[in-house]
Amino acid sequence: GLGPNLNQTILTMKAAAAAILFAVASHAVMDLTDSTFSDIVENSGKNVFVKFFAPWCGHCKRMKPDWDKLGEAYEASSSVIIADVDCTANQKTCTDNDVGGYPTVKYYTAETGPSGAKYESGRTYKSLDKFVKDTLEAKCTVDSPEEGCSDKEKSFIEKMKTKDQGYIQGQIERLTKMKGNKMKPSLKTWIVQRLNIFSQLVEEGKDEL
Show pLDDT as tens, one digit a residue, over the chain (209 residues).
455 566 666 566 665 555 544 444 446 899 999 999 999 998 888 899 999 999 999 999 999 999 999 999 898 887 899 999 999 999 999 999 999 999 999 999 988 889 999 999 999 999 999 999 888 987 788 888 887 788 899 999 999 999 999 999 999 999 988 877 777 767 877 888 898 899 888 887 776 65
Active site residue 57: yes
The CATH code belonging to domain 3-136 is 3.40.30.10
What does residue 76 show for φ and ψ, rounded to 5 degrees?
-100, 10
**DSSP-assigned letters across all residues of the chain:** --HHHHHHHHHHHHHHHHHHHHHHHHTTSEEP-TTTHHHHHHHSSSEEEEEEE-TT-HHHHHHHHHHHHHHHHTTT-SSEEEEEEETTT-HHHHHHTT--SSSEEEEE-TTTGGG-EE--S--SHHHHHHHIIIII-----SS-HHHH--HHHHHHHHHHTTS-HHHHHHHHHHHHHHHTS---HHHHHHHHHHHHHHHHHHHHHHHH-
Does this model's pTM top 0.75? no
Q: Where are the domains of the chain?
A: 3-136, 145-208
Q: Are 154 and 147 in contact (CB under 8 A)?
A: no
Active site residue 149: no
